């Protein structure tokens, strides 16, 4: 059997008799953390950033012309933008028959 080691200091431990205002099993609820705020901001600004990136990429493609062969990096960027738009429910407009 494992033996329980005592704490090194006389600090209080939640859920014990020496916890402030506590009896066994009455641990207080922790204050809400603001760590999720960054994720909320990220989720709020992602569609805006996606719109700007797709707009800029479209401008770049229009400047280069219709028959310009895209680089590997450009193809990868187009693929990522297209997938992100699909995930957010904004499908790109298809040109042509298919």
Q: How does pLDDT run across 46-95, given as a tens digit for each residue? A: 888 999 999 999 999 999 988 889 899 999 999 999 998 888 877 666 67
- pLDDT value of residue 76: 94
CB-based contact 78:57 (threshold 8 Å) = yes
- Measuring CA to CA, how many Å separate 2 from each of 7, 14, 15, 20, 44? 15, 21, 21, 28, 49
3-7, 12-16, 84-88, range with greatest mean pLDDT: 84-88
Which has the closest alpha carbon to 47: 87, 94, 3, 2?
87
What's this model's pTM, rounded to 2 decimal places? 0.52
- pLDDT value of residue 97: 76
- Measuring CA to CA, how many Å separate 75 from each of 9, 45, 71? 60, 24, 6
């Amino acid at each position: 059997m494992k033996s329980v080691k005592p704490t090194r200091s006389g600090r209080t431990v939640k859920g014990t008799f020496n916890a402030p205002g506590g009896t066994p099993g009455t641990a207080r609820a922790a204050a809400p953390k603001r760590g999720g705020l960054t994720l909320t901001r990220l989720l709020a600004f992602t569609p805006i950033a996606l719109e700007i990136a797709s707009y800029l990429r479209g401008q770049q493609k229009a400047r280069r012309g219709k028959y310009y062969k895209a680089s590997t990096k450009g193809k990868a960027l187009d693929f990522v933008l297209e997938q992100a738009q699909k995930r957010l429910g904004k499908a790109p407009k298809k040109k042509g028959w298919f």
